[in-house]
Amino acid sequence: MLQAFTADHVFPVSSPPVKNGVVVTDERGEIQGVYTKEQFAAEKFSEKPVLQKYSGIICPGFINAHCHLELSHMRGLLKEGKTLPGFIGEIIKGREADKEKIEKAIEEAEAEMIANGIVGVGDICNTTDTIFQKKKGRLRYHNFIEVFDIVPSKADEAFEKGISLLQKFNETGNTGSIIPHAPYTVSAKLLKRIYEHAYTHDSVLTIHNQETATENEMFLSKSGALFEKLSSFGDLYKNWKHTGFSSLASTLAHLPRCNKTMLVHNTYSTQEDINWAHLYSSVIYWCFCPNANLYIENRLPDFHTFINSSCRIIIGTDSLASNHSLSVLEELKTISANAPFIKLETLLKWGTLNGADFFDWKKDLGSLEKGKRPGINLITDVNTATLALTETSIVKPLLSR
């Protein structure tokens, strides 16, 4: 049985928007075609689908490229504006909780993502807490198994723990990879083990990048609030050596050039950082989590610089420890409100097709193209005259994947 959906505009994302366009799917949600109003009326279907009409715009399901689902029980626990050094101290204290509470929060957070039109997630994993939910197969995940240890002699132990955790997550039927946490929490030896594994398995990588100004300060001069906070946890950083370069350059040089690598947050990344990254590798993706940036640092990345540098941009939500919701649309609304020069067509590509491209999910997800099952979202309260999101724009999934 065929289904047909129409709205003021249809955004296939892989092609220009279609005014009063029509999306036709089969009963499984597989796209049969995207038509103009006239093409749909003239098309000779084996059985004419009933046309479901909506106000707003239609687009594919969203890809949440960066999430920490296992931290969902921490919603509302941490104060806003603590800056990253303060946030680190608070999140360590708040991770522990009753297992039943953690699992209930994870289940509710995934349901929230589905309700917000998300069909695929890049999820950071430090524990097995999310395995039970991912086995249900409600969303597609790539599990980023995060490893960290600043002591070189403990690199092998930290890496093997990551391998053990990855094997457990492989049982969920999703893809996965071993990744470093952040420039300031991994030794060069541990980065080498990550490099070798990623290169051998052709896996995608990600790392938190330049989320606070003091991250660069730490690598340039072994000083600043971040270094002081990390040093307060004991003697781990007593013999740590700064490089004299930015945190990005200091870390990226230890990761393979040919593996897709997602740099997350980039709140303090400069033109020089972007240039350096693009010279080092041609497969760099820049992930923005603007609402988390505001929650922690009360600052946003310089979107204009990234656009002018032809960056591949994708969108994440970070965790409910650092955000009020898990919604790609809310992230896009924040970007639009602070950078109104960015076209809606571009924003939707960041939130859908670019993420699917990074995770190699383009065969099924990311755009409204024949043969795909990307999910279909309706976004209402859009300024259809200027094709712009508004403060009251909301998303409703018409079809999940």
Cβ within 8 Å of residue 32, ≥6 positions away? 2, 24, 25, 26, 370
12/25 Cα distance (integer angstroms): 13
Strand bridging mode 118-125 / 62-67: parallel
What's the pLDDT score for residue 278? Answer: 98
- Of 106, 118, 78, 121, which Cα lies nearest the Cα of 330? 118
Q: Which two tokens stand for residue 267?
A: 């709140």
Secondary structure letter of residue 383 according to DSSP: B
Q: Domains of the chain, with CATH numbers? A: 3-59+391-399 (no CATH), 62-326 (3.20.20.140)
Collapsed DSSP state (helix, strand, coil) of residue 326: coil
What's the pLDDT score for residue 364? Answer: 97
Secondary structure letter of residue 24 according to DSSP: E
Q: Furthest-apart CA pair in the chain: how many Å?
A: 74
269/292 Cα distance (integer angstroms): 16
Helix (H) / strand (E) element for 304: namely helix 303-308
What's the pLDDT score for residue 287? Answer: 98
Question: In terms of residues, how long is the chain?
Answer: 401
CA dihedral 278, 281, 286, 287 (to 10 degrees): -170
Helices 83-94 and 213-221, interaxial angle, to 10°?
100
Q: Which two tokens stand for residue 36?
A: 């103009």
Helices 344-351 and 328-338, interaxial angle, to 10°?
150
Tokens 């013999």 belong to which residue?
239
Q: Where are the beta strands (DSSP E) in 205-354?
A: 205-209, 261-265, 284-288, 312-315
Instruction: Give a three-class secondary structure readout of 94-152.
Output: HCCCCHHHHHHHHHHHHHHHHHCCEEEEEEEECCCCCHHHHCCCCCEEEEEEEECECCH
Helices vs strands, H then E, count in the chain: 15, 17
The whole-model pTM stands at 0.97
Residue type for 56, please? G
Partnered with residue 395 across adjacent β-strands are 379
Residue pLDDT tens, the chain, 401 long = 899 999 999 999 999 999 999 999 999 999 999 999 999 999 999 888 989 999 999 999 999 999 999 999 999 988 898 889 888 878 877 678 899 999 999 999 999 999 999 999 999 999 999 999 999 999 999 999 999 999 999 999 999 999 999 999 999 999 999 999 999 999 999 999 999 999 999 999 999 999 999 999 999 999 999 999 999 988 889 889 999 999 999 999 999 999 999 999 999 999 999 999 999 999 999 999 999 999 999 999 999 999 999 999 999 999 999 999 999 999 999 999 999 999 999 999 999 999 999 999 999 999 999 999 999 999 999 998 899 999 999 999 999 87
N-terminal to C-terminal alpha carbon distance within the chain: 17
